[in-house]
């Protein structure tokens, strides 16, 4: 069974810093990997989706990379802002499966 | 485009009572998902619909949970009777199809007393 791990569980950085969030998964037979943002009391907002054949995806200050063979993905956030404070979740879709396997998330706090 | 709509936003009930949640997916999205998110954990899939048919309900506790998607649009998730461990946020998501990005609603926060 696929297991998704996110380390660290919580991270605090001063405003303006670049930061990296990590996601690892145990089964490399994935269809795609998706990064989400969750604000308190809210649902999940999709940030980036990387297909298994891709190495990275970029959107604004966000860059997500995927190394399928090593079972790892990273989310890079450039020039962090207080508005980036949220919980970031990665989720993996297995090839041939229907659901997403989620990590437990990294709670990010950007200090002004 | 309008997002995924869920109601109610909050619900407090006593154990052994019943409760129902409603979801309206994004227009044109054939696939609809219900997830359960317990505090401090990632969401866990309960059931997936493709149009009005069930694709995957392997993680749904069928002795107490039920879900339907009539006419392939709106969906309801019911719990009867509720247990203390059902306290969680219930998220609805939809997508255009397999492998497409899933879009989530804000969820229903359920508290069982």
pLDDT of residue B72: 83
Calculate ∠ Cα A110-A7-B105, nearest 5°.
70
- Is the minimum CB–CB distance between B60 and chain A shorter than 8 Å? no
B38 touches chain A (CB under 8 A): no
Residue among A43, A89, A100 minimizing CB distance to B107? A43
pLDDT tens digits, residue range B86-101?
999 999 999 998 778 8
Say how far apart CA A51 and CA B77 lie, in whole Å.
31
Q: What is the pLDDT, as a whole number, of residue A51? A: 93
pLDDT score at B98 = 77
Bridge partners for B3 per DSSP: none
Residue whose token pair is 């497409």: B100
Residues in chain B: 113
Task: Give pLDDT, residue B40.
Answer: 87
> What pLDDT does residue A97 have?
78
**pLDDT at res. B2:** 82
Query: What is the nearest CA distance from A33 to chain B, expressed in angstroms?
Result: 10
Q: At CB < 8 Å, which residues of chain A contact B?
A: 4, 31-32, 34, 36, 41-46, 49, 89, 91, 93, 98-100, 102-105
Residue A72's pLDDT is what? 97
Residue A25: exposed, middle, or buried by beta-carbon count in 10 A (0-12, 13-18, 19+)?
buried
The tokens describing B24, both together, are 């309206």
B77 touches chain A (CB under 8 A): no
pLDDT digits (tens, 9 = 90+) for B9-45: 999 999 999 999 999 999 999 999 999 999 989 999 9
pLDDT tier at B77, thresholds 50, 70, 90: very high
Minimal C-alpha gap between A59 and chain B (Å): 15
pLDDT for A55 equals 96
Distance CA A101, CA A3 (A): 7
Residues of chain A with pLDDT under 50: none
Share of chain B above pLDDT 70, in %: 99
Q: Are B103 and B4 in contact (CB under 8 A)?
A: yes
Confidence (pLDDT) at A111? 97
């Amino acid at each position: 069974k696929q297991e998704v791990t996110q380390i660290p569980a919580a991270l605090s950085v001063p405003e303006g810093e670049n930061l990296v969030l990590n996601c690892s998964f145990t089964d490399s037979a994935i269809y795609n990997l998706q990064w989400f943002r969750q604000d308190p009391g809210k649902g999940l907002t999709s940030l980036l989706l990387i297909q298994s054949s891709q190495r990275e995806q970029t959107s604004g200050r966000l860059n997500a990379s995927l190394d399928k063979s090593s079972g790892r993905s990273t989310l890079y956030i450039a020039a962090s802002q207080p508005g980036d404070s949220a919980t970031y979740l990665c989720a993996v879709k297995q090839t041939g499966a229907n659901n997403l396997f989620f990590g437990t998330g990294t709670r990010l706090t950007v200090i002004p | 485009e309008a997002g995924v709509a869920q109601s109610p936003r909050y619900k407090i009930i006593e154990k052994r009572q019943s409760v129902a949640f409603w979801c309206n997916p994004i227009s044109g999205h054939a696939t609809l998902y219900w997830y359960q998110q317990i505090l401090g954990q990632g969401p866990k899939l309960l059931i997936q619909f493709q149009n009005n048919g069930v694709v995957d309900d392997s993680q749904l506790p069928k002795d107490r949970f039920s879900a339907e998607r009539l006419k392939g649009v709106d969906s309801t998730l019911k719990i009867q009777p509720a247990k203390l461990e059902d306290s969680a946020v219930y998220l609805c998501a939809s997508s255009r199809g397999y492998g497409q990005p899933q879009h989530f609603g804000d969820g229903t926060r359920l508290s069982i007393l």
